[in-house]
Amino acid sequence: MTDIEIRKTGRTGRITFNRPKALNALSYKMCLALEDALDAWSGDDDVAMIVIDAAGDKAFCAGGDIAELYETGTKGDFAFGRRFWADEYRMNAKLFEFPKPVASFMQGFTMGGGVGVGCHGAHRVVGATSRIAMPECGIGLVPDVGGSLILARAPGRLGEYLGLTAARMEPGDAILAGFADHYIPEDDWPALIARLEDTADPALIEQAAHPAPPSALTAQRDAIDAAFSGAGLADIVAALRADDSDFGAAALKSLSRNSPLSLGCALEIIRHSRKADDIRAALDMEYRFTYRAMEKGDLLEGIRAAIIDKDRNPDWQHGLESLPDTAVSDMLKPLEGAALTFEKGE
């Protein structure tokens, strides 16, 4: 058994995450293996579509495996993380641009790096247990793996809200926000996947879909749009402080847990991605941040507090209401000579 099972079954290319005890966290080796499969299958006439799923019932993929990033980064080795992100983002772009149908079946948690695999295809399936989120700001990162483009395309200001608060989306929320397409009861997935393997007909997915459960975000849309339309992070925080509703208090509490530097940069990246509306432009902006995240950002401190010491008390560089504009611009300025190229082997 391997951490990721890659094979051809019937008329499909099949990818199964197989680290259920680790919530199917995406390691560097898994990322490279996935990219190799995409390269092999893009011109393979025997593969008419790709189907991606995961072992276990707790998670499709709960994110990237960040332990090695911390181990190398605390030793002053920033090259490993930079190489990991560059290779991962290239794989994300290939999935997004893949010339054949891609279907994903996302049970349980799909977060961070899992979004970069499960949410870039055209046929994204969720079930009752599905919980999707972009929680990166909580560890000093930004919504990445192309997730900033999905957030940018969400209705109204849902993208800013979901990216900055790291709110978890239930199935109806994920469909509303554009992270998923179809709701299908999870008991129906094995038979449907078997039929896809035989036919490679993605229309079977839509035919099997049930009405999506109601989205709790629908009732919050007006409040979200009002609070998260501010020009900058300080404006959003001020709007939430002025909102004496339960929503305002809960959103402000969520922001207060996260890295202010990450929040300010995430807001800028989401809005840049909304204007550019291009996966490679989104990944390029995300990489500007992640390239600098360990050396100049809050990432190592965020991982320490959340994963290593688990004290949940990170010492962020900046305060929520005292983030300098220059701190954001310094993290997102072009990378002279080190920009993301999307070329394999560089």
Write out pLDDT tens, residues 151-197.
Answer: 999 999 999 999 999 999 999 999 999 999 999 999 999 999 999 99
Predicted confidence (pLDDT) at residue 346 exceeds the cutoff of 60: no
Size of the chain in residues: 346
pLDDT tens digits, residue range 245-266?
Answer: 999 999 999 999 999 999 999 9
pLDDT value at position 202?
98
Q: Is 76 exposed, middle or buried (0-12, 13-18, 19+ CB in 10 A)?
A: exposed
Return the CATH number of 4-332, one of 3.60.15.10, 3.90.226.10, 3.40.50.12280, 3.30.465.10: 3.90.226.10
Beta strands at 4-9 and 12-17: parallel, antiparallel or unpaired: antiparallel
Q: Contact, 197 vs 109, CB < 8 A?
A: no
pLDDT tens digits, residue range 99-145?
Answer: 999 999 999 999 999 999 999 999 999 999 999 999 999 999 999 99
CA distance 185 to 189: 7
pLDDT value at position 1?
62
pLDDT tens digits, residue range 82-103?
Answer: 999 999 999 999 999 999 999 9
Tokens 């293996």 correspond to what residue? 33
Helix or strand holding residue 287 (H, E):
helix 279-293
307-331 average pLDDT score: 96
CA distance 18 to 2: 7
The closest of 207, 50, 182 to 125, measured between CA atoms, is 182
pLDDT value at position 78?
96
Catalogue the active-site residues. Answer: 64, 113, 136, 144
Reported as half-sphere exposure (CB side, CA atoms, 13 A), residue 215 has a value of 22
Amino acid at 244: D
pLDDT value at position 184?
98
Predicted confidence (pLDDT) at residue 297 exceeds the cutoff of 80: yes
Predicted confidence (pLDDT) at residue 345 exceeds the cutoff of 80: no
Sign, Cα dihedral of 24, 25, 29, 34? positive
The closest of 117, 107, 104 to 205, measured between CA atoms, is 104
